[in-house]
Structure 1
Amino acid sequence: MSIKRTLLTSAVSFGLAAGIANAEEITIATVNNADMITMQELAPAWEKETGNTINWVVLEENVLRQRTTTDIATGGGSFDIMFIGAYETPIWGAKDWLTPLNDFADDADYDLEDVFPLVRNGLSANGNLYALPLYSETSFTFYRTDLFEAAGVEVPAEQITYTEFAEMAKKLHDPDNGIYGTCQRGKAGWGENMAFVGTVANAFGARWFDEEWNPQLDSAEWNNAVNYYVNLMNDAGPPGASANGHNENRALFKDGKCATWVDATSAAGDVRNPETSGVADKTDFFKAPKEVTDKGTGWFWSWALAIPASSKKTDTAKSFLKWATSKEYFEMVGESKGWVAVPSGTRKSVEEDARRLEAAPFAKTVVSAILSVDPADPTRDPVPYTGVQFVAIPEFQGIGNYVGQQVAAALAGQTSVEDALANSQKFAVREMTKAGYIK
């Protein structure tokens, strides 16, 4: 072997060794939903390109929130990337628990301006961007076109009331044939049952707090809303509804068990995908109902990727964030899973892509619904907070979870609605007093 070839071989070997030596394993905590399962399937492309590897920690939504909150509050450093949302991001960012991502604004290839301003603002605090969105959503009503036609139920052209919705669900309810009039979230959690119940409460004129931060959970409006919810599910819902969260109801709907379902617009691609749904050609959508007001009747949420400040692998984590939320990633999903399955409500260019519009003719409806939400004006009566289905203060997570448990108990028949809300009020008053909101 010549000296020249020996040097070349050594250089190549050294380069590979250096690449291996510089490679890192990052740990990502994520929820077990369809979009993140797709990301796991496609992530080997990033691993191959960079030489880095990923340790996925995949958790049910309530467990994910508990684990990530505990880890980031204690600086535990267990995760290099967290899948978090529009509630946690600005709160944790303001506490300096997250790594700022402002440098993405200067990356022409990434094109942060392509992300809808509402979404960017929802993931920012104090002028800093703290997470990059995978998808964003509001809520609307999924319905079975064939069941509506068979039952002679007219599809609403305008936003209907929850009172009208309940009558509709009862007409469609056919449990003897395995069809339930409606499937709604019942699993306890501020981001599970309270995401839906919170918007029902808004529709009935309720609010979490008055302008002086006094809890309002024992108000007539909250009682009307939660009584409505419990009666609706008892009259037209599936058995064991208090155990069903978003994923369980999505599965029930795709299996043809539900005539209606008020939930996340982001699920539309999965439900309308013939590869994953048994009712893809029998599903359409209309607005989430209102009642005494139409304010706050559709929630706002973004699922996004963030880097804890405790991570020691920031550069590698940023590399993954750029790949996983880029235009190229959305293209990859479209080409491999179909454009109906592309994460929705985040990038303007994606939502205007002809391939997306052809595969998902409902895409414009989804974007219009998301952009119509105003988290700064979520309720009939004035409030001191922002957020539609959540209140953007750190104390809300504990309060929302407690109220969710009480509402789930009422749905399961373990307590009355009145007692559930009375308990919730006492808990919220105690927590808000302890935190200094109430003097």
Structure 2
Amino acid sequence: MKTLTRALLGASALCTVSLAAQAQSDDPVTLTIATVNNGDMVRMQGLTGAFTEAHPNITLQWVTLEENELRRRVTTDIATGSGQFDVLTIGNYEVPIWGKQDWLAPLDELPEGYDTDDLLPSIRQALTVDDTLYALPFYGESAMVMYRTDLVEEAGVTIPDQPTWSDIMTAAEAMTNEAEQTYGICLRGKPGWGENMAFLTAMANSYGARWFDMDWRPQFDSPEWQSATNDYLTMLNEYGPPGAAANGFNENLSLFQQGRCGIWIDATVAASFVTDPDESTVAENVGFAQFPNKEGVDNHGNWLWSWNLAIPASSDSVDAAKEFVAWATSKEYTEIVAEEQGWRAAPPGTRTSLYENQEYIDAAPFAEMTLTSMEAADTQNSSVQEVPYTGGQFVAIPEFQGIGTAVGQAISAALAGQSTAEQALSQAQSITEREMQRAGYMD
């Protein structure tokens, strides 16, 4: 029955997503797709039969990479115009920068029925340059608290819907039981601008910190950055798992699913995986709360991210690639996921219609908190202080990829015990000042 339904849904997607497909060339095309090894992307690869059945002349070739390696490979490919890939999985950090450089094919003639007006406004805006879309969102996310309700009850602590960092640290301490290899909190420690610095930048935002003042002077010597970094290191060193400096999104997801973490603060997209009874040993005991803030600071991190499918301008198969990215990000694809794996597994955070779908709301206990978190994210004003940049858990300038990774390495070294917080922040200040001067932002 599922195979028949998939075929029918695939045919429906074909009809609504593209009339042009009826007249498509019979010439064989191979699309090489670079993607990240996150669960939703892996799931998509397993469901592309509906697309290839409807497009028998198109073969999909996947290159699935760890997040940092994906960024390195696709950045090299796009900057050199080598044309190694036909479809790229990139974030809302890269899209506006690369779109302005004409490195991406514009997606201004999407197949009939795609319904761009259904895309969440904040996500659509982040992927648009001069009123033209340069990528289509596969899933969107903010960040939130995921926690073990059973351990919270046993420890006699409370995690409110809008916790402070004091609430989180108190609960993490109470839930830590090293004898049973249960750790109070899991956070990203792996170095990278999209790994530990995505988390720590959002945390710093919530402490009132900012990356730069209005003259583009780095602010790592500020009390806010010092407080956020010290608390981050304290939580992981005292209540976190061993080897936290090597843990990114996927490593922490596995730890939480295995029942090793009392609290995990990370991307909202993880919610469908920690509540999946086929993958998570704690699926029935997961609660959700908004990203914490520091007492007296009205800021919940302003994390807003989307993984998107884009087409490099160097591709020789732009039309075929456009057919695929439109299919993979369509409402019809979401219905295929729901039919095959349930509404809880639907790609979140991209379409308004998903959060108006009662079947999804009933199946996904995290839906309300995900939408609340995404709607609360203000990427135009990431800090309570005035800033010269946009971006929530990143700074939307081309130089940030290199600077953020270098700073992330300094912070990760402190987490590994190779330096102190003060030394790491001093190094971060020096690195960032040097690179911003070199790039012409500072005198």
Structure 2 length normalisation: TM-score?
0.92
For structure 1, list consecutive stretches of 5 or more residues without a partner in the other structure.
1-17
**Residue range with higher mean Cα deviation, 183-192 or 42-51:** 42-51
Displacement, 1:418? 1.1
In the alignment, is residue 412 of structure 1 matched against residue 423 of structure 2?
no
Deviation at 1:415, TM superposition (A): 0.9
Aligned 1:258-297 pairs, distance under 5 A: 258-291=261-294, 292-297=296-301
Deviations 1:211-257 (A, max 9, x none): 01111122222111111111111110000000000000011001111
1:22 is paired with a residue whose SS is coil
- For the Cα contact (< 8 Å) 2:291–2:300, is it kept in 1? no
- Indicate yes or no: 2:425 matched with 1:421: yes
Task: Find 2:73's aligned residue among 42, 67, 71.
Answer: 67
Residue 206 of structure 1 corresponds to: 209
The match for 1:246 among 244, 249, 252 is 249
Show the 5 A alignment for 1:22-61: 22-51=27-56, 52-61=58-67
Partner of 1:216: 219
Measured at CA, do residues 155 and 229 of structure 1 come closer, stay the same or move farther in structure 2, by a change above 3 Å? closer
The one-letter code of the counterpart of 1:237 is G
Residue in 2 that maps onto 1:99: 105
Letter in 2 for 1:378: S
Higher Cα Rg, which structure:
1
Is structure 2 residue 81 aligned with structure 1 residue 78? no
Aligned residue for 1:177? 180
Q: 2:238 aligns with which of 235, 238, 249?
A: 235
Instruction: Report SS of the residue matched to 1:36.
Output: helix
Q: 1:400-427, CA deviations, whole angstroms, 9 ceiling, x for partnerless residues?
A: 0001000000000011111111111111
Are 2:410 and 1:403 aligned?
A: no
CA contact (8 A) 1:295 1:377 kept: no
Is the contact between residue 185 and residue 241 of structure 1 (CA under 8 Å) also seen in structure 2?
yes
356-365 or 181-190: bigger deviation? 356-365
Determine helix, strand or coil for the equivalent of 1:263: strand
Residue 19 of structure 1: how far off its partner (Å): 8.5
- Partner SS, residue 433 of structure 2: helix
What secondary structure is seen at the aligned counterpart in 2 of 1:275?
coil
Q: What is the CA–CA distance in structure 1 between the aligned matches of 2:435 and 2:160, rounded to whole Å?
A: 42
Deviation at 1:43, TM superposition (A): 1.1
Task: Decide which of 360, 365, 368 is 1:364's aligned counterpart.
Answer: 368
Return the alpha-carbon distance in structure 2 between the equivalents of residues 258 and 419 of structure 1: 29
Q: Which whole-Å CA distance do the structure 2 matches of 1:285 and 1:331 have between them?
A: 25
Does the alignment pair 1:153 with 2:152? no
Is contact 2:304–2:377 with CA below 8 Å preserved after alignment?
Answer: yes
Alignment-mate amino acid for residue 177 of structure 1:
E
8 Å Cα contact 1:183/1:258 also seen in 2: yes
Q: Which aligned segments of 4 or more residues in structure 1 are displaced greater than 6 angstroms?
A: none
Q: Secondary structure at the match of 1:196?
A: helix
Give TM-score, length-normalised by structure 1: 0.93
Q: 1:390 aligns with which of 394, 398, 403?
A: 394
Percent identity over the alignment is 50
Tell me the CA shift for residue 294 of structure 1.
Answer: 2.9
CA distance in 1, matches of 2:31, 2:279: 30
Give 5+ residue unaligned stretches, structure 2.
1-22
Q: Deviations over 1:134-173 (max 9, x none)?
A: 111101100101101111112314x222123112110111
Contact 1:169 1:181 in 2 (8 A): yes
Give the superposition deviation at 1:46: 1.1
SS at match of 1:26: strand
What is the deviation of 1:20? 8.9
Q: Give the Cα–Cα distance (whole angstroms) in 2 for the partners of residues 337 and 287 of structure 1.
A: 27
Mapped partners of 2:371, 2:332: distance in 1: 20
Q: Is the 8 A contact 2:107 2:132 kept in 1?
A: yes
1:129 shift after superposition: 0.8
Q: Deviations over 1:149-204 (max 9, x none)?
A: 111112314x2221231121101111111110000000000100111111111122
**Amino acid in structure 2 at the alignment position of 1:65:** R
For the structure 1 residues 169 and 238, does the alpha-carbon distance in structure 2 shift closer, same or farther, using more than 3 Å as the test?
Answer: same
Shift of 1:285: 0.3
Q: CA deviation at 1:296?
A: 4.9
Distance 1:379 1:19 in 2: 49
User: What is the rounded CA distance, in whole Å, between the counterparts of 2:225 and 2:362 in structure 1?
Assistant: 42
What residue in structure 2 maps to residue 4 of structure 1? none
Instruction: Answer yes or no: is the 8 Å Cα contact 2:290–2:300 preserved in 1.
Output: no
Aligned mate of 2:307, from 298, 303, 307:
303
CA distance in 1, matches of 2:142, 2:228: 20
Question: CA separation in 1, counterparts of 2:158 and 2:53?
Answer: 52
Corresponding letter in the other structure for 2:78: I
> Which residue number in structure 2 is paired with residue 317 of structure 1?
321
Select 1:196's aligned residue among 196, 199, 206. Answer: 199
Give the distance between the partners of 1:114 and 1:164, measured in 2 at CA. 37
Using the alignment, how far apart are the partners of 2:25 and 2:125 within structure 1?
38
How far is 1:362 from its partner?
Answer: 2.5
1:435 maps to which residue? 439
The one-letter amino acid paired with 1:178 is Q
In 2, Cα distance between the equivalents of 1:32 and 1:23?
27
